[in-house]
Amino acid sequence: MCVPRRARELAASEDVHVTDVVKKGDLLIATPSLREPTFARSVIALLEHDDENGTVGVVLNRPMSVAVSDVVDTVSDLVTAPSTLFDGGPVAPTTAIALGRVAPGAEPDGWTYVVPPLVTVDLDHDPSLLAVSVRDLRVFVGYAGWSAGQLVGEIEEGAWYVVEGLPGDPFGDNPELLWSAVLRRQGWPLSAVAVCPLDPAMN
Domain region containing 134: 5-193
pLDDT tens-digit series, residues 163-183: 999 999 999 999 999 999 999
Q: What is the spatial distance between Cα 103 and Cα 113, in angstroms, rounded to a whole number?
A: 12
Examine residue 135 and state whether it is found in any structural domain, yes or no. yes
Considering the domain boundaries, does residue 50 fall inside one? yes
- CATH code (residue 27): 3.40.1740.10
Q: Is 203 within the bounds of a domain?
A: no
Cβ-proximal residues to 78 (8 Å cutoff; 6+ apart), any chain: 127, 130, 131, 134, 137
Q: Enumerate the β-bridge partners of residue 102.
A: 134
Span 193-201, average pLDDT:
74
pTM check: above 0.85: yes
User: Has residue 198 been placed in a domain?
Assistant: no
Q: Confidence class of residue 122 from pLDDT cuts 50, 70 and 90?
A: very high
Q: What is the mean pLDDT of the chain?
A: 89
Question: How many distinct structural domains can be found in the chain?
Answer: 1
